[in-house]
Structure 1
């Protein structure tokens, strides 16, 4: 009798893809929602409940692994090399503002689009055909292009257009220079930094731009790039799990008021930009008082946008977090996507500026990307986060961190910080870590 064998991995993956996709489609049909489509007007993201978000993630992970297996080692390697050129046509869509030159429902000859763009017909034809293979445009018939769901969104969502421009014109030029920055231009540990580590002006960005300025200083000298970056960040922070208000539901801010016996509790939002999170927090917890700190020019711009209902509850304060924390005795100090912009050594300098201001029991709350441990997610999901990590290296000599790295970083800043809780946001790489200040602990 022949013993039964498990199905080959490729068949197992294909079966899982079918099962998970069927579950997603069944939900969409039962709720009168459209199926995924490349047509303009398609939802930018499938509106799924948490359990089906997990099935969708599993399907994408299985699809990624199946493609790699079917291509084989050589095919997969060649596929990776080909990705180096994938942004070329997307960059062309941005630079020539192609989405805005094409009406929804319009079919246009490729040659006519080249004329509208004032571009070389042969080169533009080739770029548009490449864009169609990446679903950035559609080819309704030979020699013609039309909007896809992607290009239509770029035409109608200004922040998405800015996001693409930031990716293609600010981030992408640095990527090919990461290894050169590490091995040729600034080899070694970068001992010029105050406490060791690579400073933020010895990056792939500096090679790409030919500048000695850190990225954010570079932006200050170009008003349009500064505006585009702000638009790009507004797009990123609108994505599920990345929006500032996501931290409202994942951390018990109300516990701060309980400990105050009815008195108002104070939260310092360090690097809080325009105060979006602070306004949402005080709307939900009116007894909280929030001090939003950022550089003076950021705070000056934020004043005009602060809603009148937040008066008395939200205070805007100019502050450089590399200098001592001026708000002493607050109940919590909140860092949202701040520390991932800095290397460990610069983060230590930032965190140590808090120490003199802390009272016993004060909270340090960090809301930032957390890299999952190997095997905790599919390689597909982990790759998305690892790409963010490489981007941090490329632009800032900074990094995304694992939960263990976050704990090690904070306790290295001062052993009197004690990790109290960790929450991983659902369907998001973001986490919330809470530390308490315990000055009686031995250092």
Structure 2
């Protein structure tokens, strides 16, 4: 955290610190000239650990403070609330596939008139929309009324999953967030109340996406992209398994509510002697996952990845598993973040009969829980913490759920059974914090 004295630095002192740290980070980079032209790449953007990341974070914090000092309260607030117009303009470009109409070639550009004709939009309106988006650096107006790509729009065109995430943020979440205040005008407790999304759209988010399949498909692509690029949870699980040979060699991992089993397939590929069972209450998801495995016989996963339709909360026994006399890990991944304390307790209690089945010649059964965590106050400087506090409000807005701190999670898990022996680890990315709890029954 920055000290009170550091927060009160003068303009010149902050500018000098920016220059000092920018010089240091430049010395760490193989390329010295960084810009946003089409095709641009940089270790500055790709590196998310080590000194480069630390220096980048420091500079971003300093520039944020410098901006506020330069703008003053009125100027800051004006800029803070105005981007909704830029967001609406970018949504138009995404909704009408405008970015895909501009060639991804250096020096190529397209006039607003050509884009308007292809998209069947009024050129006078599209020109103004493109110009606003260009002021943010997402496009470039290379000549009057003629637009080309930058590295930012290039990313959106090339990464469909990430573009879907941006699309989702600009539509569903933008409308839902505008209804957060309305949802709080009557008693509205976490878990049992009504989410702002439902206030806005008339149905809970997952129900609304099911009723609007095109938006639902876009949301699925968005979440897949985010989990791959920003979510540290899968890496946390893989690293734990890599350090626990007794749970990967001739062992079984049961992924609870594993949907199509994509992650179990990844684990079975990474650990050749590990078998997996994917459990889910949606037979259509399990069938889709099994079809993917069966369609690729060369993967040799069909013998080691099993699928079973199962109620999430039902009582569990070792006897129901496809393999019994091996070390067993139960994995609950991204399942309990939206559950009330009562529901989490009920779910964890269902594993106790299995955790009690300790074989004398092998490790005790283990329950792994990997889920979202709200970082404790003061963990980060404010410009970094913003992303995590945004996540807290996002989950409240979209689902009316409370994101728990690691302490709150620990207290909840510990109350399920006094015999629980719990080991905790956590990992941060730039926008997500994940906790991993290893739960076993203490020896009698």
Give the distance between the partners of 1:13 and 1:398, measured in 2 at CA: 39
SS of the equivalent of 1:238 reads helix
* Cα pair distance change 1:427/1:343, threshold 3 Å: same
- Alignment CA distance shift 1:117-1:271 (3 Å): same
| Range with bigger deviation, 131-140 or 119-128 | 119-128
For residues 123-177 of structure 1, give each alpha carbon's deviation from its aligned partner in whole angstroms, at most 9, with x where no partner exists: 3232222211222211112332211212122222222222222222332221111
User: Gapped runs of 5+ residues in structure 2?
Assistant: 359-363
Q: CA deviation at 1:236?
A: 0.7
Give the equivalent residue in structure 2 for 1:436. 439
Find the counterpart in structure 2 of residue 198 from structure 1. 192
Query: CA distance change for structure 1 residues 433 and 125 in 2, over 3 Å: closer, same or farther?
Result: same
Q: Which residue of 2 aligns with 1:193?
A: none
CA contact 1:36–1:46 (8 Å) conserved in 2: no
- Partner of residue 183 from structure 2, selected from 181, 184, 188: 181
| Aligned pairs for 1:220-231 within 5 A | 220-231=210-221
Kindly indicate whether residue 402 of structure 2 is the aligned counterpart of residue 402 of structure 1. Answer: no
Whole-Å Cα distance in 2 between the matches of residues 298 and 390 of structure 1? 30
Tell whether the 8 Å contact from 2:176 to 2:197 is kept in structure 1 after alignment.
yes
- Asked whether 1:239 is paired with 2:229, we answer yes
Partners of 1:77 and 1:233 in 2: how far apart? Answer: 31
CA-CA distance at 1:377 after TM superposition: 1.3
Change (3 A) 1:347 1:88: farther
Question: Matched residues in 1 for 2:435 and 2:233: separation?
Answer: 13
1:255 match? 244
Give the TM-score of the pair, scaled to structure 2: 0.83
Q: State the partner residue of 1:41.
A: 39
**For the Cα contact (< 8 Å) 1:266–1:288, is it kept in 2?**
yes
Give the 5 Å matches for 1:304-343: 304-306=291-293, 308-325=299-316, 331-343=328-340
Q: Deviations over 1:94-145 (max 9, x none)?
A: 1111111111243233343333322233332322222112222111123322
1:43-442 aligned within 5 A = 43=41, 46-48=45-47, 50-104=50-104, 105-184=107-186, 187-189=187-189, 197-198=191-192, 202-211=194-203, 214-242=204-232, 244-249=234-239, 251-255=240-244, 257=246, 264-294=250-280, 295-306=282-293, 308-325=299-316, 331-359=328-356, 361-425=364-428, 429-438=432-441
Quote the residue 2:361 is aligned against: none
Pairwise CA RMSD of aligned residues?
A: 3.0
Query: What is the distance in 1 between the residues matched to 2:62 and 2:340?
Result: 34
C-alpha contact 1:342 1:399 (8 A) present in aligned 2: no
What SS does the corresponding residue of 1:334 show, helix, strand or coil?
strand
SS in 1 for 2:46: coil
Give, in angstroms, the shift of residue 439 of structure 1.
6.2
From the superposition, tell whether residues 340 and 12 of structure 1 become closer, same or farther in structure 2 (CA, over 3 Å).
farther
What TM-score results when the alignment is normalised by the length of structure 1?
0.83
Superposed CA offset, 1:398-421 (max 9, x none): 243322122123224444433313
